[in-house]
Chains A and B, each alone.
Chain A
Amino acid sequence: MTLDQLEDGRSAQVLALRLEPSRAMRLMEMGLMEGERVTVLRRAPLGDPLELQVGDFRLSLRREDARGIEVQP
């Protein structure tokens, strides 16, 4: 499944980043890469973007980018 399908409060392991290369690299540089755990904390009131916990920090990503992140709950 992809990260945008993960329910609020659930975490999962990243399997692959299927994104445009510069976007994938940027996420990896921030520590969001294959093998790491990521938690969907919540969605914004209008449903987009998502608030994520990655490592020791929180990050907000749009659904369109989350759709490119394959995860295994």
Chain B
Amino acid sequence: MSPRSIALLGNPNVGKTTLFNALTGLRHHTGNYPGVTVEWTAGSWVLDTATVELVDLPGTYSLAATSPDEAVVAATLQGQAGRPAPDALLVIVDASNPERNLYLLSQVLELGVPTVVALNMVDVAAAKGLEVDAGELSRALGVEVVEVRADKRRGLDALAIAVSKAMQAGLAPPAPGLSSPGDQERSVDVIRGRYAWSRRMLVNALRRPASPLRTPSDRLDTVLTHKVWGTLIFFALMATAFQSLFTWAQPVMELAEKAVNQLGSTLLAGFPASTLKDLLADGVFAGAAGVLVFLPQIAILFLFIAILEDCGYMARTAFLMDRLLSPLGLSGRSFIPLLSSFACAVPGIMATRTIEQRRERLITMLVAPLMSCSARLPVYTLMIAAFVPARRVLGIFSLQGLTLLGMYLLGALVAIPVALLLRRRLISGVAPMFLIELPSYKWPDLRSVGHRVWSQCKAFVVQAGSIILSVAVLVWALTYFPRPSVELNQAFDARRAALVSISDVSARQVADKALTQEQRGAELRQSLLGRMGRGVEPFFAPLGWDWRISMAALASFPAREVVVATLGTIFNVDAESDSQGLRVTLQHAKREDGQPLFNLAVGLSIMVFFALCAQCVSTLAVIARESGHWGWAVFTFTYMTTLAWLGAALTYRIAIALGGA
């Protein structure tokens, strides 16, 4: 027999997740409700008599469904969400805001399911001068009311006993009888009736001061939302977050990547040379490194978000930034996800979870990859250093710097019409109202913060990681097969044997390395990917590209920065150790007719293409996961590739016309 299940529900911002974590520990399982992108989380709660399953429902103000979250709560309570109806309900009530919290309770009590109330945030209430007597409230309601401090793990045993008793008795709670079947639940009279009931229930249970007290949280809010100070503090916080994502995560990322590759080569050292060894080393381990490399940024961003959200500041960031984003059909809640995407779209898209409105969340997710992420930087730097003249403009600005700035602006500017079009065309329906509660400030609960960071990292590795790894292996196979012909290998073997005649040891090593590089280039050029490069050459010709550039662009599907290493291999240079050499090689590369392959126009067209394209399988995997549909990932890839191609072709034409050849 499956364990009995208890649903935990309550308003948003009442410490529900903290209570859930306190009751169930760290072992949770999650899943998606069928058809909607709302996630459920469940864990085991040990009561004195039995272990039950506790299901954490999304925070909701009402059971009269207006949002997907609320619809899920209502459906779950009636057993219509692909899970059996709960055997008992645990409703968490915020003592600092009792009337509005009892509004939801009045609807819950009418479901006829055994119910227990957990009275939380008594400390916040005390700061406001509000005092709620749990005993009096319990007498008025006719259900058990247990005072808890979720953050301090207090009152949890009493809560377990109350729930277990209520479940054993199995009695329906006294219904407030405020709406009879057939009544319009959201009629003015019913809503009024519910608030009147809330006040009746609180007559003896609630004591409030003669006039409202000014709390430390109120004083803090005055500063943090102040026109000058609030704005300054906000930008200082954002700068710190961005800096840590962009710069501080870098060494950890490199370390993670190196460690995995090192582990791979150590483990595989004893293996005889074989296809399997190559697959493991260059496909699987390199792919795994490509997954783990995202973890430092995801961890840092979610540490930051979890702290801001838990202490109540997250809602203020939406309040402060809303005006900037409302013209795009977005709201202030999109600011942090979009800003983070300038470092990396993967954590940025994951951060859209903080946006409650589905439409807004989807638009943010779909334009986030247009923000110029750090993986584009190697492409920009290589092309700028090689093909943009180091000139001054108007005496002070460097042309190279301006080009880089232009690349960063390009994505952000293109995102504006894309967001507007998405709002009008693709995602229909009435725009929901911007309405956010600004909760009281409190110290973040470190256990909840840690738990959030951990679960996000885990979800990424498990769900997006497998897709990223598969694509890495697939692209490896395209560059690996077919194996070079016997003649090609023999030719290189003969040349390698001839190197013995070089007497100077270091000169011989240099020659040997160059030969290895040349052999890798020759192998890549005859691989499946090389043939695909020739196949798509006509498609990329309007961009000024030849088959070698086309092939490097194809090879960069797993991640944009791969294009640099691939260009290196194609042109027989080790891009990692010899960036100078790669630059010079590219400057001198020739087309088959002897014309220079690259010039300013081609360099710009490559940069614009990479600024706008979706050559990043990790981003696409995360979009698929977070939106709940592969279709959105396909859509993103299609629209971005189209924009990238058009933008690059246009740039090439204009640059040629202006004499950039």
Contact = CB atoms under 8 A, between A and B. Distances in A.
B434 A49 contact: yes
Contacts, number: 103
B240 interface: no
Interface string A31-71: 10100000001101111110100011111111001000000
Given A28-B191, A45-B231, A56-B97, A62 B434 contact: yes
Contacts of B97: 55-57
Interface residues of B, number: 41
Contact of A51 (B186, B195, B225): B225
A25 interface: yes
Interface in B417-440: 430, 433-439
23 contacts: A22-B430, A23-B433, A25-B191, A26-B61, A27-B435, A28-B191, A29-B103, A30-B61, A30-B100, A31-B99, A42-B225, A45-B227, A46-B322, A48-B322, A48-B323, A56-B97, A57-B100, A58-B439, A59-B435, A59-B436, A59-B437, A60-B437, A65-B435
B152 interface: no
B36 interface: no
A49 B332 CA distance: 10
Contacts of B319: 44, 49, 51, 60
A29 B230 contact: no
Given A22-B66, A60-B435, A60-B436, 18 more contacts: A25-B64, A26-B61, A28-B188, A28-B191, A31-B99, A33-B192, A33-B195, A45-B227, A45-B231, A46-B322, A48-B323, A49-B434, A57-B437, A58-B221, A58-B439, A59-B438, A60-B434, A62-B433
Contacts of A62: 322, 326, 433-434
Given A29-B191, A56-B100, A61 B435 contact: yes
A24 to B, nearest CB: 9
A56 B217 CA distance: 13
Interface of A: 20, 22-23, 25-31, 33, 41-42, 44-49, 51, 55-62, 65
Contacts of B228: 45
A13 to B, nearest CB: 16
A36 to B, nearest CB: 9
Contact of B100 (A42, A45, A46, A55): A55
B320 to A, nearest CB: 6
Residue of B61, B320, B323, B430 with most chain A CB atoms under a 10 A cut-off? B323
Interface in B113-128: 128
A56 B367 CA distance: 37
Residue of B100, B128, B222 with most chain A CB atoms under a 10 A cut-off? B100
Given A55-B100, A56-B97, A26 B323 contact: no
